[in-house]
Structure 1
Amino acid sequence: MAKRIFSTLLLWGTILGGLYLFGAHAAIVMLTLLTALTLHEFYGMTAKMGARPFHWMGVFIAALMVGAPYYISYFTGERDVGGIPTLLLIAALIISCYRVLGERDTSNRVETIASTVGGLLFIPFMLQFLSAILMRDADSGDNLALCLWLIAVSKFCDVGALLTGLAFGKHKMCPTISPKKTWEGAVGGVLISAGLGATIAFFASARLPEAMTPLIAALIAVPLAITTIVSDLIESAIKRRADTKDTGALIPGIGGAFDLTDSLILTSPLAFFIFEFLQ
């Protein structure tokens, strides 16, 4: 637990320091790096399941999916949401179909295509919605603050669920997937996310969209927190299927990059559409 707390504080310090010095550029660089590392770990786990994804091609395309739309928008002023990532996803599918004919045999061609493209859809295509939030219209508030709000609400749901579960947890949520998770912990995580979301909205009202009052922020945080729990369970299911305890050893006490991004994979697109509705 001490390692986890220390690593969490160090991570938040690094993130906030980078954002203070370099703004959204630091956010995109960190997101691109974490996305590429997450897909790298995902492909490693699918390999343990018997699939043979086109590993490095996928990691390269993942980095483009997240970083390219933002910088194209930055230099040209053209806002792209989903267009470039969708084209890259289609390109990955076509290239994979070509490559399997010469580089894989009949025993794993289907698995290679499914794991390569499925990983790109599940991880970078979903996480690129964080880039899309950064590219929202400037009149809708400070987009960087909006991303930080989302990350805080998502990650502190994990923390809240862990602490509440340790204190009050009795009823197992999904014992076959994640034996330590309880319904009491889940409720605690959702409540802490809602409270934190409202608190940030109150103190940072000047940087968030005008429509995002503390009450609205708390209401938005609830479905995001629930989705965070589902996203975390999906990562646990993947690890269990791959017979892997940790996705990596990148961060002491926490694990790999996947353990950092897991809660954002499903919440990022959901948050994007909610924020678009609020605009």
Structure 2
Amino acid sequence: MTPNRLVFLRRFGSTVVLWSVALWIILSGHELGFHFLIGTLAMLGLWEYYTMLDHKKLPNFKIIGLICGFVFMVGSFYYFSHVGPVHSYDFEVATLLFFLLVVFARQMFQHTRDISPLETMAYTLFGLFYVIWMFGFVTKIVYVLPRDDTGHVTGHLYVLFLILVTKFSDMGAYLTGSLIGKHLMVPHISPKKTWEGFFGALAFSVGGACGMVALMPRQLSYFHQKDAVILGLVLGLAAIIGDLAESIIKRSCDVKDSGHLLPGIGGALDLIDSILFTAPLLFFYLRFVLDVS
């Protein structure tokens, strides 16, 4: 078996197993299971981010960052599920301020000079914003949609839409780039990304979005085919940027993958890197374009 085929089989197997579990949890509509899934992926992603910094010997407050991330995720779940989205935004702003205060307070006990204190705080806070805050928009999507008549959440189906469209983009880029990719896109960031893969990603994401809206018109009642085309393009582009953004971080830290949790894929951060960018855009589309609140 060729190395490329072996990598593909490992990646395919990991993807099938992981997303089978994830989709089962999402489709069940069980809030605690969903919270556990999102929280686990977020915390693993944050751990991997700080581990990459350690590999490059870049200063950071890993433990402080992980504690802050845990507080944000648990608090966000509680406020959005029990208090509601409107008042939960105040909690989010307060928590972000808490991040700044805690990291600055921690730095006061470090006897360092030059630029090291600024670097330590910047690396620590960036991880919290990049992983925890951005991935937290998945939770917001669940609760920004009104509950049904029985009190069950409906936003989990829009998270399903988000994940499938994002992964269609990733799959389109991988398949198209592997089959016909010749023109390199940004070789200084990712030597395998091609322009053929870029347009393949957009085509797959638009097709996936339109297909989901056509198959689930009642469950995705806020979306029409026009929205599907727009979101397919927007989320597809954001997924590409998200993948390249993590590539910048990995290249800066001299690592190939963020971790070794998933054979053929890498770590949790490799799995959610695109969703970090697509989730906020879908949330703001729901809020500001479709006026969901």
TM-score relative to the length of structure 2: 0.89
CA distance in structure 2 between the partners assigned to 1:271 and 1:12 by the alignment: 20
Residues 78, 180 of structure 1: alpha-carbon distance in 2 compared, 3 angstrom cutoff:
closer
Say whether the 8 Å CA contact 2:29–2:156 is kept in structure 1: no
Say whether the 8 Å CA contact 2:85–2:144 is kept in structure 1: no
The 10-residue stretch of structure 1 (13-22 or 97-106) with the greater mean CA deviation from structure 2 = 13-22
1:97 Cα deviation after fit: 1.3
1:201 Cα deviation after fit: 0.8
Equivalenced residue count is 278
1:256 to 252, 260, 267: 267
Residue 210 of structure 2 aligns with an amino acid whose one-letter code is A
1:220 Cα deviation after fit: 1.2
The aligned counterpart of 2:154 is 142
Report percent identity of matched pairs.
Answer: 32
1:20 Cα deviation after fit: 4.4
Say whether the 8 Å CA contact 2:42–2:135 is kept in structure 1: yes
Q: Tell me whether 1:52 sits opposite 2:63 in the alignment.
A: no
1:104 Cα deviation after fit: 4.7
CA distance in structure 2 between the partners assigned to 1:145 and 1:157 by the alignment: 18
Say whether the 8 Å CA contact 2:26–2:160 is kept in structure 1: no
1:267 to 250, 255, 278: 278
2:224 to 206, 213, 229: 213
Q: Deviation string for 1:68-104 (max 9, x for gaps)? A: 2232232344644543232222112112112112135
The aligned counterpart of 2:9 is 2
CA distance in structure 2 between the partners assigned to 1:233 and 1:158 by the alignment: 11
Residue 277 of structure 2 aligns with an amino acid whose one-letter code is L
Say whether the 8 Å CA contact 1:193–1:225 is kept in structure 2: yes
The aligned counterpart of 2:108 is 101
TM-score relative to the length of structure 1: 0.93
Residues 187, 95 of structure 1: alpha-carbon distance in 2 compared, 3 angstrom cutoff:
same
Q: Deviation string for 1:51-72 (max 9, x for gaps)? A: 3211122112213323322322
Say whether the 8 Å CA contact 1:157–1:228 is kept in structure 2: yes
CA distance in structure 2 between the partners assigned to 1:46 and 1:35 by the alignment: 17
The 10-residue stretch of structure 1 (34-43 or 88-97) with the greater mean CA deviation from structure 2 = 88-97
Structure 2's unaligned 5+ residue stretches are 1-7
2:167 to 155, 171, 181: 155
1:173 Cα deviation after fit: 0.5
SS at match of 1:113: helix
Task: Please report the RMSD computed on the Cα atoms of aligned residues, expressed in angstroms.
Answer: 1.9
CA distance in structure 1 between the partners assigned to 2:230 and 2:185 by the alignment: 23
CA distance in structure 2 between the partners assigned to 1:103 and 1:188 by the alignment: 49
The 10-residue stretch of structure 1 (69-78 or 31-40) with the greater mean CA deviation from structure 2 = 69-78
1:22 Cα deviation after fit: 5.6
Say whether the 8 Å CA contact 1:149–1:197 is kept in structure 2: yes
Q: Tell me whether 1:201 sits opposite 2:213 in the alignment.
A: yes
Structure 1's unaligned 5+ residue stretches are none
The aligned counterpart of 2:234 is 223
Q: Tell me whether 1:132 sits opposite 2:143 in the alignment.
A: no
SS at match of 1:142: coil
CA distance in structure 2 between the partners assigned to 1:25 and 1:206 by the alignment: 25
